[in-house]
Structure 1
Amino acid sequence: MRQVRVLASQIGESVDGNREVRIYGTHNYHLAHFSQILGKLFTIRLNIFQQKFLMKFINNFLNQLPPIMFYAVGGVLVIQGHLSMGALVAALTAYKDLVAPWKSFWRTTSSIRMPRFATNRFWKTLIHRILFSRYRLSKTNRRASTATSA
C-alpha cells in the first residue's frame, strides 16, 4: 500500500511539473523510475498471490488427508482381518459428519470475538474523548477566568 501511495504521489508531481519534464528532457528518467516502482508493485502482488495459493493448497491437502489415511490404513486392516468393512465405513461417515459442527463452532467463536474487540475499541475511544473534552474545557475555563480577572 505504501508503494502505491509513493507511485501516486510521484505521478502527481510529474503531472504538475509536466512542463519542466518536457523542457529539460527528463521524461526517459521519469519513465524508468515509474517502471521500477511498477516492477516492485508487481513483485509484491506476485508474492501475495503465491502465498495465498500456497495456503489454499495446504488447506485443501490437510482437508483431504484424513479420508485418504482412513482408506489406506483401514483398507490394510480390513485385508489383514483386524477390522471389519462396516467399522471402516462407520469411521468414514463419522468423520464426514464431524466437519460441519467444527466449522459452525469456529464461525460462532470468530463472530463473538469481533464485536467484543469493536466494543472495547468503542469504549476506549469514548472515554478518551470525554477526558480530552474535559481537559480542553478546563483549559478554556482557565483562560476565560484569567481574562476576566485581569
Structure 2
Amino acid sequence: MAVPSVPATAATALEQAMFTFVDAYNQAWEAAAAEHGLSTAHACVLGRVETRRSMGELAEELRCDASNITQIVARLETRDLVRREPNPEDRRSRQIVRTPSGDDLYGAFEQTFEFPRDAASHLTDAEREQLTALLRKALGG
C-alpha cells in the first residue's frame, strides 16, 4: 500500500515531521516484509503472535475485521509460520501461535527491519530518552 509522501493538510512543521517519520517507517516495514516474502499485514500478525492470541484479540488489536485475520492466518498457516491450537482455558475456541519456522522468519525480519535502530542512532542517549518520554506523553501515557 503506497502512502503519499507529502501530507496534504499538515499545517505545522511538527505535523510534517511526524508524517515524514511515519511514512519512512512504513516504507521500511514494507521493504523488510517483502524481503522475506511477507506482506505488511502478514509481518504484523506474525509479530503479534509471539504469544498465544485468539483471532478476536488479533482483530481488536489491529482494528480490523475478524475475517481479514482469518485470511491472513490461513496464509501464514500454509507456509507453516503459525498454527491454530485449542485454547487451554476454553477448548471450544482456538488460539494462534507461531511455529519454530515462524519464529525463525520473524527473527530474520526483525534483523532486516533496521529503521528504528538507524533513526535512533542519530540521537544521543539523552535525546533517545527524551523522545521516548515525549512520544509516550503524546500518546496519552
The TM tier, using the shorter chain, reads under 0.3
Which of the pair has the greater relative contact order for Cα pairs under 8 Å at 6+ separation? 2
User: Larger strand proportion, structure 1 or 2?
Assistant: 2
- TM-score w.r.t. structure 1 length? 0.26
- TM-score w.r.t. structure 2 length? 0.27
User: Larger helix proportion, structure 1 or 2?
Assistant: 1
